[in-house]
Structure 1
Amino acid sequence: MADQYTLRLPALRVRQGSRYIFCFAVDGKKLHDFTAVSRISRDDERQLQGYQRPEVLSHIKAIRRYLESDGAMLPNALVLAFDKRVDFVPGRPAKDVDYSVPGDLIIPVDETLSEDEKPAWLVDGQQRSAAIRDANLAEFPVAAVGFIADGQEEQRSQFILVNSTKPLPKGLVNELLPDTIGHLPPSYARRQLPARLMIRLNTDGDSAFFGRVQSPTSPLGDINHNSLLKMLEHSLYEGALYQYRNEDGSGDLDKMIQHLCEYWGLVRDVFPDAWKLSPKESRLTHGVGIQAMGFVMDRLTGEIPVEKVSWKNVRQTLVDLKPHVAWTSGKWMFPDEERRWNGLQNTPSDLRLLKDYLKPFTR
């Protein structure tokens, strides 16, 4: 029979500005009774759910072997985000400081709850908690730090910030950024709007990129997310999408998506054979092609609102371009050299070479 009980843990409440964090210890074997590991996914309506990366089994096994050895120790604290069901009962405050108060953390435990109904989420320490769960140990107390979160948006923000000094997978960060609120490092803040556009393009049924962009929630996609992000970021700051962007990092996303769908829909229709192939088989869907054709979009439609662009003329320009490109076969006839169709790589020098080559044909 499933248990329902209250876990009462000695804790220290620490004030940081207008917020509080709670420092406490808990048996790692009990952690998963009230803590969910929320892995990133999308629901039936393509909305983002969760925020954690998938478990890395080899890493977990290595930690487990260490934990089962003599003298094992995990000094780094796990980070948990609580919902408002978790409460703190303060004790007697310290005489000399007013920013820390001892007391008890009150956590409701109900083993009948599903993962998404538990009162705590693991923000940092996924592999460590999994290793403790699987280890052949009766108990293993761990240090933990918790905070009360207002919702999953804040949890995602904290997840990115907590892991900002670690090598998080770029695909995971890019998928989390659109649904993240709060302060972000400048490099992440600059990528947030392009990431929102990328997710919209990958989940909008009218987009040429629908389901094509590889990401944690779209693992079957074959177009590299980073190449698409670079194309979008350049257009937002220096190209056709700049006209829809506000200086605070916001903008008219609907107009941006409309502009992108119109242009890339034409690219797909004018080069159907090259567009349907993977980047290994086509330089159009390869990083160098995505970025170079993004420059073509900026060159042909820059500073012209989507409703005033002559898409008929844009289409004709793309049609006129067909004899001069070698997306899937043949050779690129550059002014100073010839390259096999797949001789172009996603490097700054090759991107510059292709971009300059396309300029005379896209006036």
Structure 2
Amino acid sequence: MTERIIRRRALRIEQNPNIPLYIFALEAGEIDRVADVARISRDEAGKLLGYQRPEKRQHVKQILEYLDGGDVLFPNGLILALPSTVRFRGSRGPNSTDGLATIGTLEIPLPDSPNAPRPALIVDGQQRSLALARTRHSKLPITVAGFVAEDVEIQRDQFLRVNTVSPLPRDLVTELLPEVNTKLPTRLSARKLPSILVNALNQDPDSPFKGLIKRASSTTEKNTHAVVADNSLVAAIEQSLTPSGVLFPYKNLSDGTTDTDTMRSILVTYWTAVRDTFPGAWGLPPTKSRLMHGVGIRSMGRLMDRLMDRVLETTEPNSKDAYEITMGELAIVAPHCHWTKGRWNGLNLPWNELENTGRHINLLSNVLIRIYLQSRKSTS
């Protein structure tokens, strides 16, 4: 009976005493036996699973063409998350370590059957791994860095960090950020709270956006109903979290805490009123409604900062009064909006020529805010 273990000479890198890190080599044909891809998805309860983007077939094809050619040099290694069942046996002798690394043998257990889960997960290099599994040079040695971590949170953290040179799709990063609790780089940290709020808007039963937001984990079937790009909502919420935004007062800068419940209530109240003010434009694909387009989401988000400031002067964000007052405020701009037909008078543009560009977002935002403020001024 074939032993279900792969043994490789390895270096244990003395980097983190709590997370063992090994450098070793596998044959190209062994990658598929040892490691699997944790595709991003959600279970029936909405819990996020995995973290990897879909296969890029053209990219894999290009790598495979190179691997199947002659005179191959493939220094691009893989990063694997290894199971706690791996065993490392250090070599004996005075020269087995230099304080930075220890020489030894790494034992990786293999699954009992081809259909059983593989022991490791690919953190970086999934497109390369797919090509390596198909190359005719199945004995080609491949460099591997493996760290022992079965905690998917650590895996996601490392996945986000190693994909900074070649940026990940923004929607994938948006969906992963709420699941990472370790300290993040400043750029990613600023997007975490908006990502958490977008996640709530897409899942909470009382949210007008429930099921309408395109997520990296969404199946093709679910994406047919999703019409709003999550990055547009993230950008709108990021704007509202700046000092001039309506959500900013609910961030406690002194102790770093945030009142996410109140923020969520403000967002649900406002966007529910938007939905009910423009029922004919809500939930349609962006090609049929610019309200669901990035330019509409971003511009209405900026209007929210002005409008909800006034609403919250007299009422709590999650009250029925807040909804009714918000509906009344939106009624000021509603007659001037052309989300599905007609022309925007203040812009001299047909409804479907508005694009998700900085220029058009600024132009539309200025029109909406100017109409709202001028009307408020004339009635005060």
Does the alignment reach a TM-score above 0.5?
Answer: yes
Call closer, same or farther: CA 1:72–1:249 in 2, change over 3 Å. farther
**Helix, strand or coil for the counterpart of 2:187?**
helix
Call closer, same or farther: CA 1:342–1:13 in 2, change over 3 Å. same
Q: Tell me what 1:164 maps to.
A: 164
Larger mean CA deviation between 205-214 and 250-259 belongs to: 250-259
AA matched with 1:321: V
Output the CA distance in 2 between the equivalents of 1:114 and 1:47: 24
Offset at residue 114 of structure 1 (A)? 5.4
AA matched with 2:302: F
Call closer, same or farther: CA 1:358–1:55 in 2, change over 3 Å. same
Q: Tell me what 2:317 maps to.
A: 306
Call closer, same or farther: CA 1:307–1:126 in 2, change over 3 Å. closer
AA matched with 2:212: R
Aligned residue among 245, 254, 257 for 2:261 = 254
Q: Tell me what 2:32 maps to.
A: 32
Call closer, same or farther: CA 1:222–1:133 in 2, change over 3 Å. same
Output the CA distance in 2 between the equivalents of 1:209 and 1:55: 28
String of CA shifts for 1:16-74, please: whole Å, max 9, x gaps: 25454200011121122221111111111111101111111111122112111111121
Larger mean CA deviation between 273-282 and 40-49 belongs to: 273-282
AA matched with 1:103: G
Output the CA distance in 1 between the equivalents of 2:61 and 2:273: 49
Output the CA distance in 1 between the equivalents of 2:3 and 2:264: 48
AA matched with 1:267: V
AA matched with 1:134: R
Output the CA distance in 2 between the equivalents of 1:131 and 1:250: 45
Contact 2:97/2:103, CA 8 A, preserved across alignment: no
Q: Percent identity?
A: 39
Offset at residue 344 of structure 1 (A)? 2.3
**CA-based RMSD:** 2.3
Q: Tell me what 2:126 maps to.
A: 126
**Helix, strand or coil for the counterpart of 1:319?**
helix
Gaps of at least 5 residues in structure 2 are none
Output the CA distance in 2 between the equivalents of 1:224 and 1:350: 17
Moved over 6 A (4+): none
AA matched with 2:5: T
Q: Tell me what 2:234 maps to.
A: 229
Output the CA distance in 2 between the equivalents of 1:111 and 1:69: 33
Output the CA distance in 1 between the equivalents of 2:96 and 2:26: 27
Call closer, same or farther: CA 1:32–1:265 in 2, change over 3 Å. same
Output the CA distance in 2 between the equivalents of 1:37 and 1:310: 46
Q: Tell me what 1:151 maps to.
A: 151
AA matched with 2:275: R
Answer yes or no: is 1:289 the counterpart of 2:296. Answer: yes
Offset at residue 104 of structure 1 (A)? 1.2
Larger mean CA deviation between 325-334 and 95-104 belongs to: 95-104
Call closer, same or farther: CA 1:207–1:63 in 2, change over 3 Å. same
| Equivalent residue runs for 1:20-99 within 5 Å | 20-92=20-92, 94=95, 97-99=98-100
**Helix, strand or coil for the counterpart of 2:305?**
helix
AA matched with 1:228: L
Gaps of at least 5 residues in structure 1 are none
**Helix, strand or coil for the counterpart of 2:25?**
strand
Answer yes or no: is 1:245 the counterpart of 2:227. Answer: no
Q: Tell me what 2:10 maps to.
A: 11
Output the CA distance in 2 between the equivalents of 1:113 and 1:217: 26
Offset at residue 138 of structure 1 (A)? 4.1
Contact 1:94/1:100, CA 8 A, preserved across alignment: no
Offset at residue 118 of structure 1 (A)? 3.1
Output the CA distance in 1 between the equivalents of 2:318 and 2:208: 19
**Helix, strand or coil for the counterpart of 1:10?**
strand
String of CA shifts for 1:209-238, please: whole Å, max 9, x gaps: 112222222351221222111101111223
Output the CA distance in 2 between the equivalents of 1:199 and 1:234: 17
Call closer, same or farther: CA 1:179–1:249 in 2, change over 3 Å. farther
**Helix, strand or coil for the counterpart of 1:139?**
coil
AA matched with 2:240: S
Answer yes or no: is 1:361 the counterpart of 2:372. Answer: yes
String of CA shifts for 1:261-283, please: whole Å, max 9, x gaps: 12111111110111122111112
String of CA shifts for 1:168-198, please: whole Å, max 9, x gaps: 2111111111112323221111111111111
TM-score by length of 1: 0.91
Output the CA distance in 2 between the equivalents of 1:91 and 1:249: 48
Contact 2:13/2:101, CA 8 A, preserved across alignment: yes
String of CA shifts for 1:289-342, please: whole Å, max 9, x gaps: 1111112222122393524673211111212322111111112121xx522222
AA matched with 2:268: C
AA matched with 1:157: D
Call closer, same or farther: CA 1:114–1:208 in 2, change over 3 Å. farther
Output the CA distance in 2 between the equivalents of 1:119 and 1:250: 38
Offset at residue 102 of structure 1 (A)? 0.6
AA matched with 1:357: V
Contact 2:10/2:24, CA 8 A, preserved across alignment: yes
TM-score by length of 2: 0.87
Answer yes or no: is 1:339 the counterpart of 2:339. Answer: no
Output the CA distance in 1 between the equivalents of 2:337 and 2:56: 42
Q: Tell me what 2:332 maps to.
A: 320
Q: Tell me what 1:266 maps to.
A: 273
Contact 1:29/1:139, CA 8 A, preserved across alignment: yes
Contact 1:4/1:110, CA 8 A, preserved across alignment: no
Call closer, same or farther: CA 1:36–1:282 in 2, change over 3 Å. same
